[in-house]
A and B are shown apart, each in its own frame.
Chain A
Amino acid sequence: QQQVKQSPQSLIVQKGGISIINCAYENTAFDYFPWYQQFPGKGPALLIAIRPDVSEKKEGRFTISFNKSAKQFSLHIMDSQPGDSATYFCAASEESSGGSNYKLTFGKGTLLTVNP
């Protein structure tokens, strides 16, 4: 059972364009939603994260939009640059009773290519 569904699998965007990656989840107990960025030959690194008490979070050119009722969240990369070419993973976890949970469920990833 895939608990976090990510789309598209791959995405090609022109420099300066907007890249949009979508994720949907099933477990309503999820309440922490990070995005990780992975360059070839490297491990993933945290890019940006959101909790469901806000509908949007922006850090520089990266924005997470969150729709709790639809159980969906998305990553928007504004003014996409060739250096943004990487694989992006959405993830989710639940802060269970006691306020601590540490197991992330990852989406399958999106390979983003930004053409110059």
Chain B
Amino acid sequence: NAGVTQTPKFRILKIGQSMTLQCAQDMNHNYMYWYRQDPGMGLKLIYYSVGAGITDKGEVPNGYNVSRSTTEDFPLRLELAAPSQTSVYFCASSYAQGRRGSNQPQHFGDGTRLSIL
């Protein structure tokens, strides 16, 4: 199993350009998440999905969009890139969280390093 695969690993964009960060998982996880990581700031949740066709906003959703047409894929779209979106983006997935005592760990990809100039 590959786990969580993110592409591309690195990308440089110009202000105003758009792009899609790809995320795929092969663990049949229901839940998927997008985070951004900025130096010294930890991880901030952008969007998450509890299953195909269902997405919801996290803590910092502005400037991003997501879709979840299949269980395996959860792409993140930047429509009008801004310098403030320079960051490292991590996708994660987990099994459905169940009853108390059965919290499931999140499995992370290796990230996409995005610079917007």
Tell me the A residues contacting B by CB distance below 8 Å. Answer: 6, 9, 31-32, 34, 41-46, 49, 51, 89, 93, 95, 99-104, 106-109
On chain B, the number of residues with a Cβ less than 8 Å from chain A's Cβ atoms is 29
B108 & A43 in contact (Cβ 8 Å cutoff): yes
B42 & A89 in contact (Cβ 8 Å cutoff): yes
1/0 contact string of B99-112 vs chain A (CB within 8 Å)? 11101111111110
A-chain residues with CB within 8 Å of residue B4 when the two chains form the complex: 43
A6, A43, A99: the one within 8 Å of B109 (CB) = A43
B110 & A101 in contact (Cβ 8 Å cutoff): no
Q: A43-B90, A108-B40 are in contact. Are A101 and B97 (CB under 8 A)?
A: yes
Query: Least Cβ distance of B48 to chain A in Å?
Result: 7
Q: Taking the complex as formed, is B13 at the interface, i.e. its CB lies under 8 A from any CB of chain A?
A: no
* Residue in B104, B105, B109 whose Cβ sees the most chain A Cβ within 10 Å: B105
A-chain residues with CB within 8 Å of residue B94 when the two chains form the complex: 102
B48, B92, B105: the one within 8 Å of A49 (CB) = B105
B-chain residues with CB within 8 Å of residue A101 when the two chains form the complex: 97
